Chain A
Amino acid sequence: MNQKLLGLTRFKSEELLGPLATVILLSIGVGAISASLQLAVQFALCNMVMVLALQIFVGNSGVLSFGHGAFAMAGAWISGMSTASERVKGNALALQDLWEPLVGFKLNLYVSIIAGALVGALIAAITGAFLMRLNGLAAGIATFALLGFSYNFFFNNITFGPGSQALPAVPKFSGIYEPLALALLVIVIVYFFNISPTARSLRSSREDLLAAPALGVSIQRVRWIAFTISGALAGISGAMYVHVAGTWQVQDYYLVFTFITLAMLVIGGSASLWGAVVGTLVVTAVGQILLLWEQGKSVLGIQFDLPNGARSLIIAGSLVGILLWRFAGLTGGREFKIPKLTSSKSSRG
């Protein structure tokens, strides 16, 4: 790479406040339009937390991970299982083989989200101790095996969960503010991790696998730290998702979830926090606009008659199109910067 090393180095308030303000304004502004958009904003915030979790690890280390779906799956499982009503857990047909102690297992909603983070971090810490030795494609496939393993386990196991069925009656967030607060908290955590010496060492290993250890960086150690933290955040994302959807189903955290969040990260620009935020917002916005068109509604006065099923095709097409246009993502991996009116230099990546 002959370009400048991307990534944060020291604290600049605009780099943190810019994404925070953008997310607050858009969430509240768009959420106020209609009830269905408010729900869409809540789902988008869950995805954003997942994309930020991926950014910490994938963006900084350059190692692809398909395994974060497993952390989200587990975080969502503990959070959903510990908050769903005891009456439902004791009587639902899908749960008749549920392990007895789980039926009475009850946590407060907020505590259950912390539990989700802990479970995500724990699984990431244990598996990361082994997986972080791997590089390149082998690492990607090994993390995929982790996802496949978790999915296969939860899909078939009816002692610890509903198997392929849904766990019903999980309490929902009361509105947009709880997921918004969590997403903002995660942005702050990711920002401060990204300016830490650990993250800087990790980025050095992303740029050069031979030079970084020569300068005293233990690649395995810094990757493990980032993997564990990002496992916790993925756990939070899953826990949020379960309280937005009001139900837990293993399919929600499998291939589509894994790839759409990875795509959001790459589209926005995986090297920066701002990229993760922009990627989530852009992909969500495109999806929502197409959805409205598919339903025959107009968006800002523009209306198209979109045939059913064309939406996913256009989203996939625009994903590929954006990568062809700007392979480093929309932000080019740069952090948020207040645009200067006098600047004449173009900042294309």
Chain B
Amino acid sequence: MQPFLDAISLGGTYALAALGLGLVFGVMRLVNFAHAELITISAYVIVVTNDLPLIVSFGIAALTAALLAILTELTIYRRLRGTGPAIMLIASFGLSVGLQKSFELIFGALPRSAAVAPWMTGSSEIAGLNITVSSIVTVGLTVAILLAMGFLVEQTNLGLQLRAAATDFKTSRLLGVRSNRLIGSAFAISGILAAFVGFILVVENPQVDPMFGLNITILALVGIVIGGISSLRGAALGGFIVGFILSILNTFLGNARVYAYSYLFLAVVIILLVRPGGLLSKGNEMERV
């Protein structure tokens, strides 16, 4: 039971990271590598403000990540809009490295750590099964956020605009979607999602270094492509699948678990060859360049 719960909780965490990336990709075709640093800065803030009540500490972290996301949009991505995905991707990589180095100058190269939410590290017995508290909280939290995001995207006006922009940005603008405000909101929400991811990760592993968010971001990126980049649902599903597979492989491969990534990447290539548009795509659509 515990391995499955772990897999679901890791899958959920990856789904949140993928959702943050997918939101921004949907509105401006940007593969935002610097999403990793939004996760990292949240984790740093949570560790540094660990003396404050958790909810306050998390609130500051979410605010910081959202502001940083909006700042990167205003200063860099806005001015690169329309230059093409490759150039924006390289720029976001440069930004990502730049932010990592800034964190190194501010917080030092060595990991910062603090016991965040120590009550979550214990385990409890539910229905005769011994289950860690953190995995229950993580699963509960991700389900709640995914439901909230589902409501936001499916039921609200902002969500309608996000979906419209993700489907066809130009037409959505013609129909009155205010692009700057929408893209700004997408960045802000992705920052808040990154803060949730940062919180979940920092509870599991309280050693925060400048590269803290990199691994999950790269894998979530892989996830949104195999899920289907054209829809947020696909992005979240893809992220979940990657996290879930990775966790299961780690549990069941035994000594061969060091090759978990090899199997994962192999699976990714096969999925992409069978369904180039991702699992949730409708047929074999070709993206116009």
Contacts and interface: CB of A to CB of B under 8 A. Distances in A.
Nearest to A148: B265
Interface string B252-285: 0000001101100110110011001110000000
A262 interface: yes
Contacts of A266: 86-87, 90
B179 to A, nearest CB: 19
B120 interface: no
Contacts of A324: 76, 79-80, 91
B95 interface: yes
A263 interface: yes
B95 A320 contact: yes
A313 interface: yes
A317 interface: yes
Contacts of A137: 31, 85, 225, 229, 287
A136 B105 contact: no
Given A307-B105, A309-B104, A317 B98 contact: yes
B289 A209 contact: yes
A292 interface: no
B90 A262 contact: yes
Given A209-B289, A320-B91, A138 B276 contact: yes
B101 A312 contact: yes
A134 B272 contact: yes
Contacts of A262: 90, 93
Contacts of B89: 64, 140
Nearest to B98: A316
A111 interface: no
A62 interface: yes
Contact of A149 (B85, B94, B258, B262): B262
Interface string A303-332: 000010110110111011001100100000
Interface of A: 58, 62, 64, 130-131, 133-138, 140-142, 144-146, 148-149, 152-153, 156, 206, 209-210, 259, 262-263, 266, 270, 307, 309-310, 312-313, 315-317, 319-320, 323-324, 327
Interface of B: 31, 76, 79-80, 83, 85-87, 89-91, 93-95, 97-98, 101-102, 104-105, 109, 218, 221-222, 225-226, 229, 258-259, 261-262, 265-266, 268-269, 272-273, 276-278, 286-289
